[in-house]
Amino acid sequence: MTQDALQRTRALKRPTRDAMLRREPDVSRFWHENQNLFQEAWKEWEQSNPSDLDNSLYNDDLRAAVEGAWKDPTTERAVKDLWKEVFPGVYKTQFFDPDRLATLRRYMDSVADADIPLRPPYGISLNRRGAMLDPRSDGHLGAPAFQAFYRELMDSYMRPISRLLFPDIMGFDTQTFGFSIQWQADKDTSLRPHSDASSVTLNINLNLPDESFSGSAVSFIDPASRRVEKLYFKPGTALIHHGSVPHASEPITEGQRSNFVLWLYGQNGQTPRPSAEAAEIDPRARWTVPTEPSDGFAPF
């Protein structure tokens, strides 16, 4: 592959918005036929756009607790104590440092402006700066430095934290999936009640401290009591829950809300049964990285 991969990529005729919405066969062929070209284009783009994504993005307390648990898993209680249960089975914490979020947002803005085709998540914020993050997804954000950051987030943070809060997902957490979204007033009005095809979902807000928005709460529904509660994001905060917990995004009325939505699940889309009882788990087993290869399965 020559050094003109970026130029060749930018010259490609791309699928239309309507074609992507309809998921026409030509759209799938576009991604598959050009995947190697896109991989080289991201490498070439990164030479002029070096990444400054590193673990300083994380909240200091969370980073210290997670790093301590990787060194000594018996200290994992310090990680769990940072997560507050704000609804049955839904936990919240300060995940990223709000003062460092500008670094991540600048990077994501530069990605959106790279003029390399990205496949936004279907039906959520199509063609409005959303992107697939996981390498198993067609048209994903393939910059090598971002992929290193993404793998660290999933392997060092999300998976062991998910196992700690939801022990029943052990064995159903080897595979990863993720996308970015940007809710905009008058464009992305809401997302109806649904559950996720995941064992665990982590939803992280990427808004900057001076970047306000109105509305756009995430409503959670308790299947047992039918109680509904609206939960709101602050910059850098995260919500985590079983994918099976029903939830919806309320209409955004002003500004925009930017988020990462990350999933864990087992090979070929397996998730734990709702009634599954969690076995007692040695902390040392929780703080490990699975050795199973990627199954290549992308939920959408």
The pLDDT of residue 189 is 55
pLDDT tens-place values along the chain, 300 residues long: 456 999 999 999 999 888 887 889 999 999 999 999 999 999 999 999 999 999 999 999 999 999 999 999 999 999 999 999 999 999 999 999 999 999 999 999 999 999 999 988 876 544 567 899 999 999 999 999 999 999 999 999 999 999 999 999 999 999 999 999 887 756 655 567 789 999 999 999 999 999 877 667 889 998 888 888 999 889 999 999 999 999 988 777 777 888 999 999 999 999 998 766 767 889 999 999 999 888 988 888
Q: Do the beta carbons of residue 76 and residue 66 sit within 8 Å?
A: no
CA torsion sign for 66, 222, 244, 219 is negative
- pLDDT score recorded for residue 276: 63
Per domain, the residue ranges of the chain are 1-48, 54-286
CA-CA distance, 147 to 23, in Å (whole number)? 26
Q: What superfamily in CATH does domain 54-286 come from?
A: q2cbj1_9rhob like domain (2.60.120.620)
Cβ-based neighbours of 17, under 8 Å, separated by 6 or more: 126, 127
Burial class of residue 81 in the structure, from the number of CB atoms within 10 Å of its CB (0-12 exposed, 13-18 middle, 19+ buried): exposed
Looking at residue 215, its pLDDT comes to 67
Which of 273, 265, 262 has the alpha carbon at shortest distance from 290? 265
CA dist 213 → 170, 207, 255 (Å): 36, 9, 4
Burial status of residue 18 (CB atoms within 10 A of its CB: 0-12, 13-18, 19 or more): exposed
**Euclidean distance between the first and final Cα of the chain, in Å?**
29
Measured at the CA of 273, the angle between CA 272 and CA 279, to 5 degrees, comes to 65
The pLDDT value recorded for residue 193 is 76
Listed residue (149, 80, 148) closest to 287, CA to CA: 80
Helix axis angle, 25-33 to 35-48, nearest 10°: 60
DSSP 84-127: EEEETTEEEEE-B-GGGHHHHHHHHHHHHTS-----PPTTTSTT
What is the distance, to the nearest Å, from the Cα of residue 211 to the centroid of all Cα atoms in its chain?
20
- Whole-number Å distance between alpha carbons of 224 and 184: 33
Q: Are the C-beta atoms of 273 and 147 separated by less than 8 Å? A: no
The residues pairing with 229 across neighbouring beta strands, listed in sequence order, are 220
**Residue 62, phi then psi, degrees to nearest 5:** -65, -45
180 and 259 in contact (C-beta within 8 Å)? yes
What tokens does 129 get?
């700066």
